[in-house]
Structure 1
Amino acid sequence: MIAACSIAGSDSGGGAGIQADLKTFTAIGVFGLTVITAVTAQNTREVRGSWTLPAEAVAAQLAAVRDDFAIGAFKTGMLGTAAIIRTVAESLPAGVPVVVDPVMVSTSGHRLLAGDAVADLVGLLIPRAEIVTPNIPEAEVLAGMRIASPEDMAEAGRRIRDLGAGAVVVKGGHLAGERAVDVLVDAAGVRQFSGRMYPYSVHGSGCCFAAALAAYRARGLGVREAAAAARAFVEAAIASAAGAPGGSRIVNPGGTLLYPDTG
């Protein structure tokens, strides 16, 4: 059994976090395990509240899944506090790919990472990451620079990689342009992935992309191959995004798989 584990917060609206990760794992053919770090009350329009779990509860979940499963990759999302980041960094097994999605603020503007936790994210968790997947606002914080172009994205990726990560994918969905551009920086250099820019916002696309990366790494693809496959996967999930009355669309990892066109 190929398994991947998501360490992230729960999204009651089902569009991001643990819920999006599990849907993504299933669609790619990977058995999904979870370590829940926080519970949120949210929908596609807003985060009404979030409550982080005690660090010991996170450690207990991680120990439970590690003791019973052969885990091919880990993905981290919303971690919430410095104590949880320290716990996760200390508990991750050596030699297993780790995809770090450095979730800081929700799409609706709700802060999901305590201000004093950024230093631990940078100093403890990013050096454990095989791949870090910041969006542009997150990359600006981590790299300490403004980003206005794909060239800036590449420079930010190099700076974040210098923090100890194996590779960095800077996601370009926040950058204006006719095409959506993501930039991968690894030991081999820089590679751009370009895709369609959809005329609507989508909740959960970042979670879906990072989870797909972890799933493809668990299935044995190399970093560059996994990044290309994850980019294609999330574009399909955005293309089939589900609508919610009054809110934004929701990324749909299993959309084309579960709801084929019946003509």
Structure 2
Amino acid sequence: MSSHTATPSATFVSTPVVLTIAGSDSGGGAGIQADIKAMSATGSYACSVITAITAQNTLGVSAIFPIPLEHVEKQLDAVFTDLNVVAVKVGMLADSETIKLVAAKLKQYHPEFLVVDPVMVATSGDLLLKTSAIDTLKSELLPLADLITPNLPESAALTNSPLPTDDLSMRAMVEKLRQLNLKAVLLKGGHLEKEDNSTDLLIFDDRIEEFTAKRIQTLNTHGTGCTLSSAIASYLAQGNDLLRAVKLGKNYISHAIAHADELQIGQGYGPVNHFFKGHRDIV
């Protein structure tokens, strides 16, 4: 007769689930890889739907392979029919058909929160989406979002405006963004490199919340947009309201950039430091 030692009942902690729908970065600094790191570092469980595979490193992108539409759909169904997804972050979408599919699935499954980082413009300034796809993004996906997080080139593309070159022209874009009739826009001013400070504007219909931080001089800024939007989605999933989620996300990305030079990754523009010392203590 054998005896068995009883083990104590396990204590389960409910971890908020956050889904990233984006492209893969083989170099690990941006896209799906950055999203998963940011969500994990900020205390959420990350799952993913890959929309494109890029051949990419710190020196640039050499190839992009869009995932067939049918397989994007199967990934979405697989995640949503099993996992309790609270928040979704959307990044790179390859074309109009992918945008339409993602929008339809989000309407079908109704996640509580949606953050869209409208990845449309490469660092070189080249458009990554055709004009027709940008129109589809504006009509089908952006109206579903609780927050969109465009940088200045993306904001210019969304509003058919000249690229802002200083703080004044950046602020002049606010009303044009409001005309898109979205719930909230985080207009990121990181591209104004001549400014001593980096200022982001959280734009609502009735007010603007301003976030200003001292500009950090580093070449390791690859994946900052992906990281910030993912951190905000993570903090929303944890029960924070939008303003606090943005504040926490901004605090996290500022620390990740400040600690970026502690990493020596690649020969070009390296990644931010997602797992800097003390990342779990961000409040």
Aligned pairs for 1:162-181 within 5 A: 162-175=179-192, 176-181=194-199
Aligned pairs for 1:1-263 within 5 A: 1-92=15-106, 93-94=109-110, 96-108=112-124, 111-146=127-162, 147-175=164-192, 176-201=194-219, 202-241=221-260, 242-257=263-278
TM normalised by structure 1 equals 0.92
CA gap of 1:188–1:224, structure 2 versus 1, over 3 A, is farther
Of structures 1 and 2, the larger Rg is shown by: 2
Cα distance, 1:255 vs structure 2: 2.2
Q: Which amino acid aligns with 2:25?
A: D
Aligned length: 258
8 Å contact kept, 1:47–1:110: no
Secondary structure at the residue paired with 2:277? helix
Cα distance, 1:95 vs structure 2: 5.5
Q: Which runs of 5+ in 1 are unaligned?
A: 259-263
Q: Which runs of 4+ in 1 moved over 4 A?
A: 108-111
Q: C-alpha separation between the residues in 2 aligned to 1:174 and 1:42?
A: 22
Cα distance, 1:97 vs structure 2: 1.1
Aligned-pair Cα RMSD in Å: 1.7
Cα distance, 1:196 vs structure 2: 2.0
Q: Which amino acid aligns with 2:218?
A: Y
TM normalised by structure 2 equals 0.86
Q: C-alpha separation between the residues in 2 aligned to 1:243 and 1:112?
A: 28
Cα distance, 1:155 vs structure 2: 4.2
Q: Percent identity, please.
A: 38
Q: C-alpha separation between the residues in 2 aligned to 1:38 and 1:95?
A: 22
Cα distance, 1:186 vs structure 2: 1.3
Q: C-alpha separation between the residues in 1 aligned to 2:249 and 2:66?
A: 29
Q: Which amino acid aligns with 2:98?
A: I
CA gap of 1:33–1:164, structure 2 versus 1, over 3 A, is farther
Secondary structure at the residue paired with 2:92? coil
Q: Which runs of 5+ in 2 are unaligned?
A: 1-14
CA gap of 1:199–1:223, structure 2 versus 1, over 3 A, is same
8 Å contact kept, 2:88–2:111: no
Secondary structure at the residue paired with 2:182? coil
Cα distance, 1:251 vs structure 2: 1.4
